[in-house]
Amino acid sequence: MADRVEAVAIEGLGEIVPGDDLPALIADALAASTGVLPLRDDDVLVVTQKVVSKAEGAIVDLTTIEPRPVAVEFARRYDRDARQVEVVLREAKRVIRMANGVVITETPHGFVCANGGIDASNVGPGSGDIVTLLPADPDASAERIRAAVRHRLGHDLPVIVSDSFGRPWRFGIVDVAIGVSGIEPLDDLRGTPDADGRVMKSTVRAVADEIASVAELVFGKTGRHPIALVRGAAFNRGDGHIRDVIMPAQMDLFR
Amino acid sequence: MADRVEAVAIEGLGEIVPGDDLPALIADALAASTGVLPLRDDDVLVVTQKVVSKAEGAIVDLTTIEPRPVAVEFARRYDRDARQVEVVLREAKRVIRMANGVVITETPHGFVCANGGIDASNVGPGSGDIVTLLPADPDASAERIRAAVRHRLGHDLPVIVSDSFGRPWRFGIVDVAIGVSGIEPLDDLRGTPDADGRVMKSTVRAVADEIASVAELVFGKTGRHPIALVRGAAFNRGDGHIRDVIMPAQMDLFR
């Protein structure tokens, strides 16, 4: 187990707009930084959902949206933008809760989160009516970035696409993984001995989520830094998928 | 916002047993490490619940426990220890869910978590029948550690007591803060401008939880390292309490 873990924000990624070749731009930014920061085998690259969605054009112009009556009513009641509520409902596979001004939905990917991961902050100057959706296939987004880095730098760097999710029962958001490539998102210790030699029965570490949280501490919520290297975490390389993390509805007690 | 964040495991804390002066032992371990690792103003100390509970005697010997019939039935059905289920029920303020082999309770502190935070791993050699409870007042535990460090090293080091919690909808556990001293556990950015100058409406970062998650990456689940410094995270000093993080039942949609 590592005894030192570090997250470093990577500089040099400019404002991202739809159509940008984000994987190539990220590879360029990494190439420019490797003089001072040579890549290591225990590095993981974390990329925020926001830049992935923008580059992939997973955005909606709210001026084109006609909200349904329930969205209008909900928005009026809780001082929200009815058009954004409409997009959340439109993109949802299922509405889990809609109360107290909060819409919790299950996304087509299987994530359960506030507003289906759709939000308005940091989508570029002068874009008050633009919201970002989640990337259509965040594992594929991560895989494309990983391939570009491998091509440009000859280094197989695992990639996590992250987003900020709230949690039931606790205030505040934490970053979690919504897409992975080259890393197993869970570290399953069941059956291995603990420090006293006792077999652990239920420990599955959500290592990709914790790595995403580390990266958030250098991203900052103002979004100035959308990519970071996390170095030194003990993780397993592999061809894991984010669906490995998603609890099936029949096991879940809160859906 | 920081552009580099680091977690470093602190060595030198031996096996903790009930009655140990954990704050003094932690201060000693930090004092021994400050030769190679001088403390900085942006350091936060993270201490696992397990050593806090052990030192404070927040443990239960399962051989003294007589399980009630519902605990016996649940344990038989799901291959669990009926005595541990009994302790979970006994310590609970409220049972939130009891199904699929999982008991989710609300603890007296207000945490909603699996088994009320009671578990069996890593409580010392030859202790197969001992479980740890959560500390009675984790903020006070953190405060005592902070006071001992201040006394020993003249440094006001914010302290987080952490534990591993599961989440609804996602597999795997992540570390979160269950007690704080000297740090505001939430970083409330509502009303501040984002990178594009737009006012953010709903961003409250659970910074103490993310710092706890960073530390977990160096603790490792085998529990060899129960304390770590997290350095460089942007947090606010203050006299925050963990109850600031707990969502009141009337706001919560999943209780």
| Chain B interface, best mutation among A3, A105, A183, by max B CB count within 10 A | A3
Fold (CATH) for A6-56+135-244 = 60s Ribosomal Protein L30; Chain: A; (3.30.1330)
- Please name the helix (run of DSSP H) or strand (run of DSSP E) that holds residue B114, with its range, or none: strand B112-114
CATH superfamily of B59-131: CofE-like domain (3.90.1660.10)
Contacts of B187 in chain A (CB under 8 A): 172, 221
A 119-158 near B (Cβ less than 8 A): 120-128
Identical fold, B6-58+138-244 and B59-131? no
A191 near B CB under 8 A: no
- Written as one string, the DSSP assignment of B153-165 is HS----EEEEEEE
ipTM comes to: 0.93
Residues B22 and B14: beta-carbon distance below 8 Å: no
**Which pLDDT tens digits describe chain A residue by residue (255 residues)?**
458 999 999 988 989 999 999 999 999 999 999 777 889 999 999 999 999 999 999 999 999 999 999 999 999 999 999 999 999 999 999 999 999 899 999 999 999 999 999 988 565 656 678 999 999 999 999 999 999 999 999 999 999 999 999 999 999 999 999 999 999 999 988 777 766 666 666 689 999 999 999 999 998 745 678 999 999 999 999 999 999 999 998 888 888
A144 min Cα distance to partner chain B (Å) = 24
Residue B225 sits at the chain A interface (C-beta within 8 Å): yes
- What class does CATH assign to B6-58+138-244? alpha beta
Domain range summary for chain B, segments of one domain joined by +? 6-58+138-244, 59-131
Contact A197 B125 (CB under 8 A): yes
pTM, to two decimals: 0.94
Interface of B with A in 82-111 (CB under 8 A): 97, 99-100, 102, 104, 111
